[in-house]
C-alpha cells in the first residue's frame, strides 16, 4: 500500500514540478488550490492562520508546496518547497488535529510545528521545524533534506520533545558504506529562535537502546540502489 501511494504521489509531484518550472520562466501562471487551512493560538499569539497550498490539479491533493502563515499584525510568512511536504500517513497524538502538521512541545508553554516532506526514491523524507517567537513572525529553525524523522518523543522526561532522526545519504549509498549509528537526536532550542542541536548523550543512548532497529533502516540502502520502492519507517509521537 505504501509503495502504490508513493508511486502515485511521485507522478503527482512530477506534474507539479513541471508547472512550477514553466511558471518560473514565465510560460504559465500557477493556479493555487488550498489544501488545508487552520486557525489556532500559537505561543500566546492569538488567531494565527496557517494555509497550505498546492498547484491546482485534478483530484484530492495529498501534498502541498507552499506554506503561508498569517500572524495578526505581522507580514505574511511564506515558505516554498518544490518537492512538496506530505500528508501525514501515521497515527499520532497531535494537539492541532491536523493531517498535515505536527505540534510538539519545545519548552513549557512553547510549541513548534514539524512538517514532513518528500525526497528521492529510497531516501528519507525531508522535514522542517517552524517556530513562532513572542514578537515578530515565524521562522524556520531547522530544515533537512537528508534526514528522516523516526520518532518525536520526550526522551529524558524534561517535558520537551526531542526529534529522533535517521540517516541514509545518497553518497553513502553510492559508495556502498554501511550505516553506523544511524539515529541522531535533536533537542529543540531552549529559547525562541534557537537552532535545535544534536545531543551526543541522547544520541548515544538511543542508538544503544534501539540497536536492533538499525536493521529496519539499513534496507533503505538496498531500496535506493534498486530504485524500485520508497523506504518506510514507523513514526511515533508521544
Asked if the model's pLDDT at residue 128 lies above 70, the reply is yes
DSSP structural state of residue 37: E
Rounded CA-CA distance 61/13 in Å is: 10
pLDDT at position 236 is 42
Asked if the model's pLDDT at residue 131 lies above 80, the reply is yes
Cell representation of residue 18: 513541471
Dihedral pair phi/psi, residue 130, rounded to 5°: -115, 135
Q: Are 133 and 111 in contact (CB under 8 A)?
A: no
Asked if the model's pLDDT at residue 15 lies above 70, the reply is no
Rounded CA-CA distance 83/36 in Å is: 18
Confidence of residue 35 (pLDDT cuts 50, 70, 90): very high
Asked if the model's pLDDT at residue 50 lies above 90, the reply is yes
**Burial of 80 from C-beta contacts in 10 A (0-12 / 13-18 / 19+):** exposed
pLDDT at position 61 is 65
pLDDT at position 232 is 37
pLDDT at position 31 is 87
Which range has highest mean pLDDT (26-30, 141-145, 215-219, 233-237)? 141-145
How open is the CA angle 219-225-227, to the nearest 5 degrees? 100
Rounded CA-CA distance 226/237 in Å is: 31
Give the domain ranges of the chain: 2-237
Instruction: Please indicate whether residue 123 or residue 163 has the higher confidence score (pLDDT).
Output: 163
Instruction: Please indicate whether residue 65 or residue 218 has the higher confidence score (pLDDT).
Output: 65
pTM of the model: 0.74
* DSSP assignment string, 195-215: PPEE-HHHHHHHHHHTGGGHH
Amino acid at each position: 500500500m505504501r509503495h502504490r501511494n508513493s508511486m502515485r504521489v511521485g507522478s503527482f509531484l512530477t506534474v507539479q514540478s513541471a508547472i512550477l518550472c514553466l511558471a518560473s520562466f514565465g510560460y504559465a501562471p500557477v493556479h493555487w488550490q488550498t489544501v488545508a487551512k487552520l486557525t489556532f493560538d500559537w505561543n500566546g499569539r492569538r488567531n494565527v492562520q496557517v494555509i497550505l497550498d498546492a498547484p491546482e490539479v485534478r483530484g484530492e491533493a495529498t501534498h502541498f508546496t507552499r506554506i503561508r502563515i498569517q500572524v495578526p499584525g505581522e507580514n505574511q510568512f511564506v515558505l516554498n518547497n518544490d518537492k512538496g511536504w506530505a500528508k501525514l500517513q501515521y497515527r499520532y497524538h497531535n494537539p492541532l488535529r491536523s493531517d498535515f502538521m505536527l505540534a510538539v512541545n519545545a519548552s513549557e508553554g512553547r510549541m513548534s510545528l514539524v512538517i514532513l516532506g518528500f525526497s528521492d526514491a529510497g531516501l528519507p523524507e525531508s522535514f522542517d521545524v517552524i517556530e513562532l517567537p513572542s514578537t515578530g513572525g515565524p521562522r524556520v529553525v531547522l530544515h533537512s533534506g537528508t534526514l528522516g524523522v523516526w520518532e518525536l518523543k520526550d526522551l529524558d522526561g524534561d517535558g520537551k520533545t526531542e526529534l529522533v532522526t535517521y540517516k541514509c545519504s545518497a553518497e553513502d549509498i553510492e559508495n556502498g558504506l554501511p550505516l553506523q549509528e544511524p539515529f541522531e537526536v535533536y533537542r529543540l532550542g531552549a529559547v525562541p529562535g534557537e537552532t535545535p542541536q544534536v545531543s551526543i548523550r541522547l544520541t548515544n543512548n538511543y542508538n544503544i537502546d534501539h540497536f536492533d532497529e538499525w536493521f529496519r533502516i539499513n534496507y533503505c540502502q538496498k531500496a535506493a540502489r534498486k530504485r524500485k520502492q520508497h523506504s518506510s519507517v514507523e513514526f511515533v509521537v508521544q
